[in-house]
Amino acid sequence: MTMLPREEAARAILARNDRGGYTVPTDRLYPFQWNWDSAFVAIGFSLFDVDRAYRELERLTEGQWDDGMIPHIVFHAPSDTYFPGPDVWGTRHRVPTSGITQPAVFGMALRHVHEAALATGTAGATERTKALFKAALRSHRWWLNARDPEGLGLVSILHPWESGSDNSPAWDEALARVPTTTTTTIRRKDTGHVDASMRPRDEDYQRFIHLVDTYRDCGWNPERQWAAAPFKVADVQMTAILARSTADLMHLAETLGTDEEKAELSRMHDRLRAGLARRWRPDLSRFVNLDLISGRDIETPTQAGFIPLVALALDDGQRTAIVAEIERWLAGMFAGVPSTPSFSPAFEPKRYWRGPVWAVINWLICDGLRLNGSEDLARRIEQTIVQAIESAGFCEYFDPTTGEGLGGDTFSWTAAAYMVLGRRT
Ligand code: GLC
């Protein structure tokens, strides 16, 4: 198999962040198992250790709730380097977990792992895939029932952390309505590990915790949370990832599923793709979120507007427009599609989701570009990401204007992205 220049270093990071069948995003800053990080990491593992790739997903499902939700954090073992810990969430699952979720990359990862298992003749693969397929299907049912109760064909987030893009400017207006009062005492740990200028602001944090307090007071019951939520955004990034995962589960169902499961997945897929297609804004050349509290479109430009490429086959006009828009965001940048474009007043090239480049986001965008026939652009973007990682290291994210590595270092999903994207360039 091809070995990339930093392949050994990438594998060493995954080994170093292994805590016994699951991988922490990075030591200290994120000392537990995170949902979508693990899904991307499983794809990375599937390139050289299929058994370990399965383990990553299996350990994540240990945290799955009875109602089907796969939480955003599974607290397998205690650590005092992260806030908010299990005591703040106050959930009642057999393994301590957070009470919110994260993008459903799980189904996409499962298909990758299964195909890698078939290619390598891994023993026991079908049974392992089947069990994980059932878990994924239960989580997709949860998504549609709990997060699209009104049948919009779009799933909503009730907390910015669910989006995976914690302090994106897309949330500014909606979050400003959330009070800063908390019943929980805030003890931030992140700013002890990473420079505060690269992290969300204190005021954002108060609102993040206000939301946690609110949902904990609802006993983590989905209907009560939906009714009480002061923050409710139908998110195109989330919906697109769920739709794409649904397509990947449909593919697996061809050989592993029942007729009912196939039909159910196909209905989910139609519903999500129809909802997503309605979010296209021709005047902006991208897809936009819908704020369900104000009833208004969120026009703030962020990377989320391009993620529907992974789930939809665009028509020629849309394709030309979105490619031109991506090119506009790339102009003058050193690496990748930024999380916020430099022409936006919200652009801060070093602050978390307000400008920096994230390798896994570019991975998704490039998958979507390829699906929509833009192979050359995908490859060009991937090359800049691989180059940034090779020169700056496996950082959490990068300054798009310089390629400087930022946030935490020795990041698991950046290592996984390197192995996957590096093989394509
Ligand atoms: C931050 C990111 C989120 C990620 C987590 C662990 O919260 O915003 O997307 O899953 O860190 O890496």
Question: Considering the domain boundaries, does residue 286 fall inside one?
Answer: no
Ligand 1 pocket (Cβ < 6 Å) reads 25, 30, 34, 36-37, 164, 166
What is the pTM (predicted TM-score) of this model?
0.98
pLDDT digits (tens, 9 = 90+) for 7-17: 999 999 999 99
Distance 231 CA to ligand 1 centre (A): 19
Asked if residue 254 belongs to a domain, the reply is no
Residues 6+ apart with CB under 8 A from 396: 26, 29, 406, 407, 408, 409, 411, 414
Atom of ligand 1 nearest to the CA of 102: 10
Sign of CA dihedral 297, 273, 269, 74: negative
Residue 344 included in any domain: yes
Report yes or no on 236 lying in a domain. Answer: no
Tokens of 397: 């994210």
Reported as a single tens digit per residue, the pLDDT across 144-174 is: 999 999 999 999 999 999 999 999 999 999 9
- For the CA of 30, the closest atom of ligand 1 is 6
Give the residue, by CA position, lying nearest to ligand 1 atom 4: 164
Please give the tally of structural domains in the chain: 1
Query: What does the pLDDT look like over 62-108, one tens digit per residue?
Result: 999 999 999 999 999 999 999 999 999 999 888 999 999 999 999 99
For 355, the domain range is: 313-425
Please check whether residue 20 lies inside any domain of the structure: no
> Is residue 82 situated within a structural domain?
no
Calpha distance 363→349 (Å, rounded):
19
Name the H helices within 158-291: 160-163, 172-176, 190-193, 202-217, 222-228, 236-256, 259-277
> Residue 243 domain-assigned?
no
Q: Residue 425's pLDDT is what?
A: 87
Distance (Å, rounded) from C-alpha 121 to C-alpha 408? 37
pLDDT of residue 1: 67
Q: Dump the DSSP string for 303-355.
A: GGGGGGGGT----HHHHHHHHHHHHHHHTT-SSS--SS-TTSTT--TTSTTSS
pLDDT score recorded for residue 199 = 86
Q: For the chain, list residues with pLDDT below 50.
A: none
Show which residues are catalytic.
Answer: 166, 396
- Report if residue 162 sits inside a domain: no
